[in-house]
Amino acid sequence: MKNNFSIIILSAFFQVLGIFFITFMILHLLPGDPVQVMLGESAAIADQEKLRVELGLDQPIYKQMINSFVQVMQGDFGNSILTRTPIKERLISAMQNTYMLAIFALFIALFFGIIGGIFSAKYKDTILDKIITNLSLFFISIPHFFLGPLLMLFLSIWLGWLPVSGMDSPFSIVLPAFTLALGMLAIVIKMTRNCMIEIMNSDAVRTARAKGMTEWAITIHYVFRLVLIPLITIIGMQFGSLLSGAVITETLFSWNGLGMLLVNSIQMRDYPITQACIFVIAISYVFVNLVTEIFYKLVDPRMRDG
Amino acid sequence: MDLDQILSEPNFLSWFGRDDYGRDIFYRLIDGFLNSFEIILFVTIISSVTGVVIGIFSGYFGGRLDQCVRYVTTLFMSFPGILLAIAFAAILTPGKFNLVLALSIGGWVGYARLARAQTVLVKNLEFVKASESMGSSHTWIITQHIFPSLLTPLIVEATYAVAGLIIAEASLSFLGLGLQAPEASWGGMMRDSVRFLLISPHYAIFVGLSIMSLVYCVNFFGDYLHRKWDIKNEG
């Protein structure tokens, strides 16, 4: 079993190396001279040379790669070209905001998704079930950049319940979090429903019924606990789409997270920040996947020797 | 440019109303659709051909090559969603060709994984073994046995991928990384419309509804094919 975990961790490490390599290459794939692209062609030669030395572009490429890998591992992402301040501070505050948003969205999706799924399965083929399944189909096909404005329009502009955008009030998180959560909510509902229906027809549940347990006691004790295992996989897989959805949602709601930092840095041609953001987002995804995979093996004994 | 018509609400002459330059939103949407169609068609062709070729070779011959392909595909999949496309759209100059390139870079991975899984499955079936023992060449087995078995799951995968691509392309344009201003694109229109959300919500609603219904239809078509051909989820 120990062996098994070390393989997972090792492969995650190789993934991190690969991600580093791809993000590193971004600056070098820029058409033309990266320094000229960032500063503009009219920039003074002295400034260009200064930036070139600062970014380490005057050194051979393998040396650049090793240096920047060592720096990144120490949490140093260099300086922003525009403001000349270290990227690290901005990155950390952006990370906090994005994780806060993503975790809030995750809770919304799980809470409403599990409840919706349980009801939908318990009252299978009734009107309630049809409403829930159709609503979730609607949620899954609505893109973030349309759901966001729609929620803004209804809840903020027409009803005036929530702030439109920004991060000033504690309720600001509600709209972006719901925008982000609904797609995942639909998946959680669908999965909970299908899984529950399957388990409700199993022998164990029939035995429990024969013993005279009440329906709700069976739901909580038997069915729900078994549904939790596939849910963990869903969380791991969907966390990536939460992170990539955050790019759109944050831009839309002016939420100062990784996504907005990324988009702004691209517009400002501040490529070191772009690199740092992409690296951090991809690493978080790999990390979440690693954690869920380990957790999965711990929870489900069958998976341990797999 | 018609100043009286700017952001005018839907009426009989212009069904979806007009945008901030007084253009008819309906016709603008059609222009945008044609642009998206062109981009998505090329992305699908490029990524499916590359993905399937890589997938079949990796699954059929196995060994080092297979390990390599598996590593690269997991690596590409560790960039969630459109992140990879954003990264490449960021460094390339905006335009149709570069947009196709940026979307294809992440697009082939899904096809490659599917083709690989299916190839490994079919390779070990009796009829392929029989054909092999009768002395068929690799080319014959791949083109006559493996590729045909791949075709139906591939088409279903492509349908779902197209639905994803519509959103991905619109997302890139929404972020300002896709097609640029005078060219019509659904994402770009969405981006413009959000600025006028307060004064003319019809703009955002019609653009959003169009994107959504198209994605819904494509997904629905995918589900239909999925059921019709009874495909099990592999790979």
A149 and B198 in contact by Cβ < 8 A? no
The dihedrals phi and psi of A61, each to the nearest 5 degrees, come to -65, -35
A108 in Cβ contact with A269 (< 8 Å) = no
For A292, residues 6+ apart whose C-beta sits below 8 A from its C-beta are: A232, A233, A235, A236
> Residues B24, B27, B29, B32: is their CA dihedral positive or negative?
negative
| pLDDT tens figures, B152-177 | 889 988 998 998 899 899 988 888 88
Chain A residues with CB under 8 Å of B90 CB are: 26, 266, 271, 274
Q: For residue B111, what pLDDT is reported?
A: 92
Q: What angle do CA A154, A155, A157 make, to 5 degrees?
A: 70
A278 and B75 in contact by Cβ < 8 A? no
DSSP secondary structure string, A249-286?
HHHHHT--SHHHHHHHHHHTT-HHHHHHHHHHHHHHHH
B187, closest residue in chain A (CA to CA): A145
> Residues A155, A160, A163, A164: is their CA dihedral positive or negative?
positive
B87 and A19 in contact by Cβ < 8 A? no
Q: Taking residues B21-35, report their average pLDDT.
A: 83
pLDDT over 70 percentage in chain A: 94
Q: For residue A255, what pLDDT is reported?
A: 85
Q: How far is A120 from chain B, CA to nearest CA, in Å?
A: 21
B80 and A26 in contact by Cβ < 8 A? no
pLDDT at A114 over 60: yes
Chain B residues with CB under 8 Å of A17 CB are: none
Q: For residue A208, what pLDDT is reported?
A: 84
Rounded CA gap, A148 and A16, in Å?
32
Q: For residue B231, what pLDDT is reported?
A: 65
| Most confident option among A87-96, A249-258, B39-48 | B39-48
CA atoms within 13 A on the CB side of B91: 27
Tracing tokens 């009734």 back to the chain, one arrives at A126
Q: Which of residues 120-159 of A touch B (CB under 8 A)?
A: 140-146, 148-150, 152-153, 157
| pLDDT tens figures, A13-26 | 888 888 888 888 87
Q: For residue A3, what pLDDT is reported?
A: 62
For A74, residues 6+ apart whose C-beta sits below 8 A from its C-beta are: none
More confident: A253 or A57: A253
Give the pLDDT band (50/70/90) at residue B124.
confident
B83, closest residue in chain A (CA to CA): A244
Question: Using CB atoms, which residue from A22, A153, A289 is nearest to B197?
Answer: A153
Rounded CA gap, B124 and B206, in Å?
51
Give the pLDDT band (50/70/90) at residue B56.
very high
* Mean pLDDT, rounded, of chain A: 81
Chain B residues with CB under 8 Å of A143 CB are: 167, 170-171, 208, 211-212, 215
Copy the structure tokens of residue A155. 């809840």
For A230, residues 6+ apart whose C-beta sits below 8 A from its C-beta are: A191, A195
B91, closest residue in chain A (CA to CA): A30
| CA distance to A64, A96, A119, A131, A156, per residue, from A25 (Å) | 11, 27, 49, 48, 42
Chain B residues with CB under 8 Å of A282 CB are: 78-80, 83
DSSP secondary structure string, A202-249?
SHHHHHHHHHT--HHHHIIIIIHHHHHHHHHHHHHHHHHHHHHHHHHH
More confident: B68 or A43: B68
Q: Which of residues 230-259 of A touch B (CB under 8 A)?
A: 239-241, 243-245, 247-248, 251-252
ipTM of the complex: 0.82
A9 touches chain B (CB under 8 A): no
Rounded CA gap, B88 and B98, in Å?
9
For an interface test with B, the pick among A38, A244, A267 (most B C-beta atoms closer than 10 Å) comes out as: A244
Q: Taking residues A65-73, report their average pLDDT.
A: 80
Copy the structure tokens of residue A279. 């690296």
| CA distance to A7, A153, A162, A245, per residue, from A170 (Å) | 43, 19, 10, 21
B170 and A285 in contact by Cβ < 8 A? no
Return the minimum-mean-pLDDT range out of A112-126, A218-232, B41-55, B68-82.
A218-232
Rounded CA gap, A4 and B143, in Å?
38
Rounded CA gap, A169 and B11, in Å?
39
Chain A residues with CB under 8 Å of B211 CB are: 143, 146
For A160, residues 6+ apart whose C-beta sits below 8 A from its C-beta are: none
Rounded CA gap, A206 and B51, in Å?
47
pLDDT over 90 percentage in chain A: 0
| pLDDT tens figures, B185-202 | 888 888 888 888 877 888
Rg (CA), chain B: 22
| CA distance to A174, A185, A297, B155, per residue, from A108 (Å) | 10, 8, 26, 35
Rounded CA gap, B29 and A47, in Å?
45
> Residues A150, A154, A158, A164: is their CA dihedral positive or negative?
negative
Q: Which residues share a beta bridge with A86?
A: A79
For A172, residues 6+ apart whose C-beta sits below 8 A from its C-beta are: A162, A163, A165, A166, A253, A255
- Residue B48 CB: number of other CB atoms within 10 A? 23
By three-state DSSP, how is residue A79 classified? Answer: strand
A149 in Cβ contact with B194 (< 8 Å) = yes
Q: Which of residues 274-293 of A touch B (CB under 8 A)?
A: 274, 278, 281-282, 285-286, 289
Q: Taking residues A56-72, report their average pLDDT.
A: 78
| CA distance to A292, A293, A299, per residue, from A232 (Å) | 6, 9, 10
Question: Using CB atoms, which residue from B74, B87, B204 is nearest to A278?
Answer: B87
Question: Using CB atoms, which residue from A31, A140, A149 is nearest to B204?
Answer: A149
pLDDT at B132 over 50: yes
A268 touches chain B (CB under 8 A): no
pLDDT at B53 over 90: yes
Give CA torsion, residues B60, B66, B71, B77, to 10 deg: -10
